[in-house]
Amino acid sequence: MTLWSGRFTASMDEALWKLSESYSFDHVLYAHDIAGSVAHVRGLRAAGLLTSDECDTLVATLEQISTEFEQGIFERRAGDEDIHMAIERRATELAGTVGAKIHTARSRNDQVATTLRLFVRDALSEIARQTLTLTETLVALGQRYGEAYLPGYTHLQRAQPVLLSHHLQAHAWSLARDVDRMIDARRRLNVSPLGAGALAGTSLPIQPSVTAGLLGFDEPFANSMDAVSDRDFVAETLFDIALLGVHLSRMGEELVLWTTSEFHFATLGDDFTTGSSMLPQKKNSDVAELARGKSGRLVGNLTGLLVTLKGLPLSYNRDLQEDKEPLFDSVTQILVVLAALDGAYRSMTFDVAAAAAAAEDDLLVAIDVAEALVAEGVAFRHAHEMAGALVGRAVREGRGLAEVVAADDRLAHLASLFAPGAALARRRSPGASGPLAGPEQLSRLRERLESLRTRL
Ligand code: ARG
């Protein structure tokens, strides 16, 4: 028997049941749904729709149901279409007529919107927290190899030397923006839909502001139709996770490159690498590849939801039930990736010598030759031309750029530009990649991470 059996003479066909039921995936919402129901019954009490005793009975009943879930002994019955109906059914079983009052002045439409906002609010906090942990791991790794440097790349061609800490902090800044975005999304979603009913509110004297306050929402909804149909917060969350996933994917791609024999900049710990079922010598960076691979699915979840939402007329439509699986999947997967990538960076050994050797490529000093000429009064475009001609000659003659410069009478005084580490040391403008510019950057990043942590 369903909760709406009063209106029907035949029970639901099995084929429709399979399409309609969502308990199989939305049972994970039990804690948030119960929290919403506890606030709802207190609101009913405040409105005089329940006595104090009835309210106490229902709160105790809901707490018992919560314990049943926590102990894994809650039993789903035939007819429990979703988590909301399962909990109401059980409350009625336990509390009799009082249980039958729990859904007064409420629809599953405002209920599910409330439950989902509570779930997303917590999920965003958890993801943001774990993202901050990863930024701190990146900063610590950079500090552990304080003087290590590598070539910085553009177009994946060696461009200029950069400190490892500078490189890792570049990723930390993008992750910091992800955290900022999630905190922002969390603030925007913090509006209570409870009390909107099916779509148009109710004739009963409830005060949505009461339940909003109890649930820690900043305010109640202003428009009941918007309250039950709005899933912007799910779309925003899926976007925030997708973009975070794209950042983690780029980091994964970089780890794949760094750990190849060709680059050989880094090695991951044995506990964060995998072997091959056939090739005995293999030590694979699967963790990085999966971080890269998962991003496709995260983008897919966002795209799927946007397509679901597109074209829905006001207000609630059952299509909205399709918001849950992509949301749960993205939340679960991003947390798995964040934890694994964090572990991978913690396990990483950086090959300081190999990276420095790659960064000591003579040609990376070409810009320093041009800038030294600028410092001597040559117009930059002419200096670029001169340095370019020297590079051309070096490449054609198969000689090092340092050698070509030293051999040129007018430029011999620039030979010191090629001393090991000298090019890196000269990257000193604010925000640049060298050690002189490092401390200020680090303190700016630390300040940002600190303020994000406070806002969390
Ligand atoms: N399980 C449903 C969902 O997730 C609950 C709302 C059902 N509402 C309705 N009017 N059929 O959207």
Confidence check: pLDDT of 294 > 90:
yes
Question: Residue 406 has which token pair?
Answer: 């030293």
Confidence check: pLDDT of 4 > 90:
no
How many whole angstroms separate alpha carbon 366 and alpha carbon 418?
A: 9
> N- to C-terminal Cα distance for the chain?
45
Q: What is the pLDDT of residue 282?
A: 86
Q: Which of 5, 11, 20, 276 is catalytic?
A: 276
Q: What is the pLDDT of residue 276?
A: 87
- Residue 276 among the catalytic residues: yes
Give pLDDT tens digits for 178-233: 999 999 999 999 999 999 999 999 999 999 999 999 999 999 999 999 999 999 99
Q: What is the pLDDT of residue 280?
A: 86
- Tell me how far the alpha carbon of residue 22 lies from the centroid of ligand 1, in angstroms: 9
Confidence check: pLDDT of 1 > 60:
no
**Domain 108-199+222-358, CATH number (from 1.20.200.10, 1.25.50.10, 3.40.50.300, 3.30.1280.10):** 1.20.200.10
- pLDDT, the chain, mean: 96
The preferred substitution site among 30, 109, 111, 199 for testing ligand 1, maximizing ligand atoms within 8 Å of CB, is 109
Q: Is 115 in the pocket of ligand 1 (CB under 6 A)?
A: no
- Tell me how far the alpha carbon of residue 218 lies from the centroid of ligand 1, in angstroms: 25
Q: Which of 52, 155, 203, 277 is catalytic?
A: 155
Q: Is the dihedral of CA 389, 395, 401, 404 positive or negative?
A: negative
- Residue 167 among the catalytic residues: no
Locate the domains of the chain by residue range.
Answer: 13-101, 108-199+222-358, 361-419
Query: Considering only CA atoms, which residue is closest to atom 5 of ligand 1?
Result: 108
Query: Can you give the pTM of this predicted structure?
Result: 0.96
Confidence check: pLDDT of 5 > 80:
no
Query: Considering only CA atoms, which residue is closest to atom 3 of ligand 1?
Result: 321
Q: Is 109 in the pocket of ligand 1 (CB under 6 A)?
A: yes
Topology, domain 361-419: Ribonucleotide Reductase Protein R1; domain 1 (1.10.40)
* Nearest atom in ligand 1 to 116's CA: 4
- Cβ neighbours, 10 Å, residue 31: 15
Q: Is 111 in the pocket of ligand 1 (CB under 6 A)?
A: no
Q: What is the pLDDT of residue 279?
A: 86
Confidence check: pLDDT of 100 > 80:
yes
How many whole angstroms separate alpha carbon 449 and alpha carbon 196?
A: 38
How many whole angstroms separate alpha carbon 227 and alpha carbon 220?
A: 9
Query: What's the DSSP call for residue 11?
Result: P
Give pLDDT tens digits for 372-392: 999 999 999 999 999 999 999
For the structural domain made of 13-101, what CATH number should be given?
A: 1.10.275.10
Query: Considering only CA atoms, which residue is closest to atom 12 of ligand 1?
Result: 321
DSSP string, 47-78: TTSS-HHHHHHHHHHHHHHHHHHHTT-----T
Contacts of 314 (CB under 8 A, 6+ apart): 199, 225, 229
Average pLDDT over residues 93-102: 96
Q: Which helix (H) or strand (E) holds 241?
A: helix 232-258
Give pLDDT tens digits for 356-373: 999 999 999 999 999 999
Contacts of 173 (CB under 8 A, 6+ apart): 445, 448
pLDDT band for 283, please (50, 70, 90 cuts). confident
* Nearest atom in ligand 1 to 82's CA: 1
Average pLDDT over residues 77-103: 97
Give pLDDT tens digits for 11-23: 889 999 999 999 9
